[in-house]
Amino acid sequence: MGRAQWSVMISVDEARNLILESVQPLASQNIAVTDCLYRIPSSSIAAQIDLPGFDNSAMDGFAVRAADLEKADRNNRIELACVATVEAGSETRRAVDTGECIRIFTGAPLPHGADAVVMQEDTENSEDSGQVLFAEPIKPWENIRFRGEDIRSGSSIASTGHRIGIGVRAVLYGAGVSELEVVQKPKVAVLATGNELREPGEVPLAPGQIYETNRSTLAAFIEKSGCEAVVFPLVPDTLEATQEAFRRAFKECDAVITSGGVSVGQMDFVKTAFDRIGGELSFWRVAMRPGKQFGFGRFQSKYWFGLPGNPVSSVVTFLLLVRPALDRLSGLSDLVMERRKGTLGEDLSNPGNRTHFFRVIFKADNSMVFSAGAQGSHRLLSLSQSNGLLEVPPDTIFKAGQECEVLMWD
Ligand code: AMP
Ligand code: MG
């Protein structure tokens, strides 16, 4: 890992690349299939059995030999003797002989001798006499679901790097998988620094104090990324308290996210504390707005993401720089943020020298894109009203009517 370039701002892409080069997926663990929803396999998973597991009926009706009904039509109804019944979950040893049929229900195994199922609605059944009338011919293998036609035993049904969704889990259950190897779920510590911070709900605030908002927000994003968030108590602005908080967090978690205290103020102890505990800083400061004061480093086999304290900056840096890292740590192979093409509804101007990520509203009904309001990095309201970010390069004006691409965050 390259040593810190203390005074130079690196670009967002460089920052993301440095982070992703550094972060490796966690080790794997064995889990029961019942716990696999939204986990990420660390190796390809094979079906243990064929699906369907046996040839079976797709209909409620009668298992027949198609050759017996070759000449059946409305004027020449053919009568077969119904010699047995087979329901789903059972089987019959009785085979279908020429001139015979077997009453069968959907999902029941096809009896020997039969090569087609006639649906009940196409027959006339005189149950009492045990005779069934057929007025149409049927093609061999009609209304039969074949063993292994959906999934073959041994074929891959879940692949490395892709989250197991509800559908894939159903396949794992159906194909007889009972245990599987997945990447361990990252435990991510969330710390907030600042003497001014108070727990939300604590009343009243003393002069200069504010309610803390970053930990709950970051924890929600972390959990949404499929990781476990561990929220730590507020950290006062002292070097000792910050070091102690780091030590506890790294002991328990695979990655530590801090908010606040990473700029150049007298009370900004986070970088120094990270250094003191033996952390290795990779870079600090990124040419983005909001979010310039962002740091990243390694502590042994673990990672530190130092986010700025301003609530909007912490969210934007999390989405662009931390979330892909958590995805990689979790074992995901696709780290791309969802993008949607739209048309700008107003001018957006970035006269600065850092890439500006505007909080925008992408309207799904007409793909128009508007600013979500005042863009200050302390402006929680515009963040709350936006569903996407629009990247405007330095010294650039995007004009109303222009095509653009929105990074969807919600
Ligand atoms: P800092 O990055 O520590 O210099 O903080 C920048 C600004 O964000 C200051 O106005 C802080 O009061 C505010 N801030 C820092 N941390 C939080 C937090 N966890 N919740 C809400 N505001 C915060
Ligand atoms: Mg602070």
pLDDT tens per residue, range 128-143: 679 999 999 999 999 9
40 and 68 both lie in a single domain: no
Both 311 and 263 in one domain: the answer is yes
Pocket residue to mutate for ligand 1, from 310, 314, 377, 379, most atoms within 8 A of Cβ: 310
Q: Is the CB of 308 under 6 A from ligand 1?
A: yes
Distance CA 341, CA 90 (A): 55
For the entire predicted model, the pTM comes to: 0.92
> Cα of 353 to ligand 1 centre, how many Å?
23
Cross-strand pairs, 406? 340
CATH code: domain of residue 67: 2.170.190.11
Please give the distance, rounded to the nearest whole angstrom, from the Cα atom of residue 212 to the centre of ligand 1: 8
Last residue of a domain, one of 330, 358, 391: 330
Q: Would you state the structure tokens that stand for residue 394, as one six-digit string?
A: 């330095």
| Cα(45)–Cα(157) distance, integer angstroms | 6
331 C-beta closer than 6 A to ligand 1: no
Domain that holds residue 135: 56-145
Q: How far does the centroid of ligand 2 lie from the alpha carbon of residue 257, in Å?
A: 14
Number of neighbours of residue 80 by Cβ within 10 angstroms:
25
Q: Please count the structural domains in the chain.
A: 4
Regarding the beta carbon of 214 and ligand 1, being less than 6 Å apart is answered yes
Cβ of 199 closer than 6 Å to ligand 1, yes or no, is no
Q: For residue 332, give the 3-state DSSP assignment.
A: coil
pLDDT of res. 126: 65
Q: How far is the CA of 231 from the centre of ligand 1 (A)?
A: 17
Q: What string of DSSP letters covers 4-58? A: P-SSPPBPHHHHHHHHHHH--PPPEEEEEGGG-TT--BSS-EE-SS-BSSS-EES
**pLDDT attached to residue 5:** 44
**C-beta of 92 in contact with ligand 1 (< 6 A):** no
257 lines ligand 1 (CB under 6 A): no
Looking at the structure, do residues 219 and 318 belong to the same domain, yes or no? Answer: yes
- What is the reported pLDDT for 202? 84
Please indicate, yes or no, whether residues 68 and 138 belong to a single structural domain of this protein. yes
Q: What is the pLDDT of residue 7?
A: 57
Q: Which residues of the chain register pLDDT less than 70?
A: 1-7, 126-128
Residues 170 and 200 both lie in one domain: no
350: CATH:
2.40.340.10
Tell whether ligand 1 has an atom less than 6 A from the beta carbon of residue 309: yes
Among candidates 364, 384, 357, 356, which has minimal Cα distance to 372? 384
In the reported structure, the alpha carbon of residue 22 is separated from the centroid of ligand 2 by a whole-number distance in angstroms of: 27
What's the CATH code of the domain at 241? 3.40.980.10
- Ligand having the closest approach to the CA of 234: 1
Query: What does the alpha-carbon distance between residue 41 and residue 163 come to, in Å, rounded to a whole number?
Result: 7
Atom of ligand 1 lying closest to residue 378 CA: 8
- Buried/exposed 340-379: b ≥16 CB within 10 Å, e otherwise: eebebbeebebeeebbbbbbbbbeeeeeebbbbbebebeb
Whether residues 318 and 211 fall in one domain:
yes
Ligand 1 neighbour 310 (Cβ under 6 A)? yes
Same domain, 116 and 233: no
Query: Same domain, yes or no, for 46 and 172?
Result: yes
Distance 55 CA to ligand 1 centre (A): 65
Tokens of 81: 């003797």
| Cβ–Cβ < 8 Å for 86, 67 | no
Chain center to CA of 184: 15
228 and 286 co-located in one domain: yes
For 79-121, the pLDDT digits (tens) are 999 999 999 999 999 999 999 999 999 999 999 999 999 999 9
CA separation for the pair 239, 309 (Å, rounded) = 17
Regarding whether 179 and 212 lie in a shared domain, the answer is no
